Amino acid sequence: MLLRSLRPQISRVTGARALQSQGSGREFKVVEVGPRDGLQNEKNFVPTEQKIELINRLGQSGLKVVECASYVSPKWVPQMKDNDVVINGIDRLPGVSYPVLVPNMTGMKNVLKNKNVEEIAVFAAASEGFSKKNTNCSIEKSLQRLGEVASEALKHGLRVRGYTSVVIACPYDGRTDPAKVAALCEALLSMGCYEVSLGDTIGVGSAASVAKMLDEVLRVAPAEKFAVHFHDTYGQALANVLVSVEKGIRVADSSVAGLGGCPYAKGATGNLASEDLVYMLHDMGFDTGIDLETLVETGEWICENMGRANVSRCSNALLTKKAKTK
């Protein structure tokens, strides 16, 4: 049956004026996915203490949501095998949520053994090819599994967020029909997800394709029910957020220093860098509660520790400026 349903204001940050749109005012929620989406694809194991410190620093920057781990199979994603130690090691700041990804009831049972988890995220794909590669099952089967996971989580008082992946295109099946994305979002919302994040997993979408997808998705629920999650492979992520803001969306996922990639989507780069997103949002007059400088320092810190390049344009510009003024 599920398969059938899949057929087809002003603030003084820089003096700039906030975009006037149909959204709910000046607040904008940034969901930091660096410790999960950002690290899951790293070949070398990132030491647990480093993961913990990253999450703590991100929390201190003022972020309200920091996705910190996955309860997926360690054979599939070895980088996330220290999930429990990470969750139990972090400083939980009041008002900050620390969700973890859960694909099935095995993961859910493990989550329930850890009293420190208060929020989970379930994920499904809008294409059969990605569903199979990422979770080893069809879309229909994954929705069945996630329905059970969501109901168990809600029964235990956990909040449940949803992800729809490959909303623009799939690395295996090609372009995604926006109607399929909308149907999947509807299924996730009806399971009790408080919000569904729309993932352009391989970062191929641009303004026109994203607008078309959003128009379809916003038929099934209002903008308050959605977040956007753009990987920045083609450098279109900020433009895509802007289109989403114009449609009324006020939540976006991003990753500090642009870390990341998906192990089951070859060639896809990291998420939109959190620093670049926050810089734009502040310039538009949105209130994120985030201190950009702390975020920039955190991005630089983790890149230095991991020995990788910081791909945030904003970070690089601010750090160069700072070095010149020394």
CB of residue 164 to Mg ion, shortest distance in Å:
11
Tokens 């929620």: give the residue: 29
Q: Exactly one of 50, 76, 93, 313 binds ligand HMG (CB under 6 A); which one? A: 76
Residues 30-69 that bind ligand HMG (CB under 6 A): 37, 40
Contact status, residue 197 vs residue 253, Cβ threshold 8 Å: yes
Residues 118-177 that bind ligand HMG (CB under 6 A): 123, 134-136, 163, 165
CB of residue 233 to ligand HMG, shortest distance in Å:
11
- For 185-216, b where at least 16 C-beta lie within 10 A, e where not — what string? bbbbbebebebbbbbbbbbbbbeebbeebbeb
| Helices and strands (H, E) in the chain, number of each type | 11, 11
Region from 90-98, 260-268, 291-299, 308-316 binding ligand HMG, contact rule CB under 6 A: 260-268
Name the residue nearer to ligand HMG (CB basis): 161 or 250.
Answer: 161
Catalytic residue at 262? Answer: yes
Q: By CB under 6 A, how many residues form the interface with ligand HMG?
A: 27
Does residue 37 touch Mg ion according to CB under 5 A?
A: yes
Starting at the edge strand found earlier in the chain, the sheet holding 65-66 runs 65-66, 29-32, 251-254, 226-230, 196-200, 159-165, 119-125, 100-101, 69-70
CA–CA dist 214, 202 (Å, integer):
17
CA–CA dist 319, 317 (Å, integer):
6
Contact status, residue 150 vs residue 103, Cβ threshold 8 Å: no
H/E stretch holding 228 reads: strand 226-230
Pairing of strands 169-170, 119-125: unpaired
Q: Exactly one of 48, 60, 73, 206 binds ligand HMG (CB under 6 A); which one? A: 73
Structural Rg of the chain based on CA atoms: 18
Does residue 32 touch Mg ion according to CB under 5 A?
A: no
Name the residue nearer to ligand HMG (CB basis): 199 or 285.
Answer: 199
Q: Which of 68, 262, 303, 314 does the annotation list as catalytic?
A: 262
Residues 181-220 that bind ligand HMG (CB under 6 A): 199, 201
Does residue 200 touch Mg ion according to CB under 5 A?
A: no
Does residue 77 touch ligand HMG according to CB under 6 A?
A: yes
* Chain residues in the site for ligand HMG (CB under 6 A): 37, 40, 70-73, 76-77, 101, 103-104, 106-107, 110, 123, 134-136, 163, 165, 199, 201, 229, 231, 262-264
* Chain residues in the site for Mg ion (CB under 5 A): 37
Active site residues: 262
